[in-house]
Amino acid sequence: MSNLVSLSTAKAAEAGVEISILHPVTDEPLGVMITVYGADSKTCRQIQRRQTNHRLEMQAKQKQQFKKKPVTTAEQLEAEGLDLLVGCTKSWRTLIYDEEGKETGSRPQIEMAEGEWLDCTPENVRKLYQEIPWVKEQIDGEIGDRSNFLQS
């Protein structure tokens, strides 16, 4: 029997976990690593609270004005989801291999298009997730997977 504290994910979620981005068809690693905070991290929870508080404020304003329109649209929810993923992305890097295929190091950027190397900035993270939705989906799934943040 385990004590519950040993199953806490908060500390590891705040430290982050490195995710290997996989080819969307073959599941082969692409040599692109993205480090993300977990859903239980202070970082992610702060973003979620800020978004919820904004929705509650909008709801209260609409109630005062007797409006019947929905407070949140699908577009707003999608934008909030993207904002959360951008805010929970800590860093990224591209692995470097020698001629024999042995990893020799990494570069703290990713190659978005041929010769277009991007630093990990909020703007570039947003660009990646908007332009390559399958990467966004992989990251979204990994951030919420608590098993990534539990020691085995």
Tell me the per-residue pLDDT of 47-85, one tens digit each, with 9 for 90 and over: 888 888 888 887 777 777 766 666 677 888 888 889 999
Mean per-residue pLDDT for 9-35?
Answer: 90
- What is the per-residue pLDDT across 39-52, written as a single tens digit (0 to 9) for each? 888 888 898 888 88
Model pTM score: 0.79
Q: CA distances (Å), 135 to each of 28, 82, 148, in order?
A: 13, 12, 17
Instruction: Take residue 43 and report the two structure tokens written for it.
Output: 């970082």
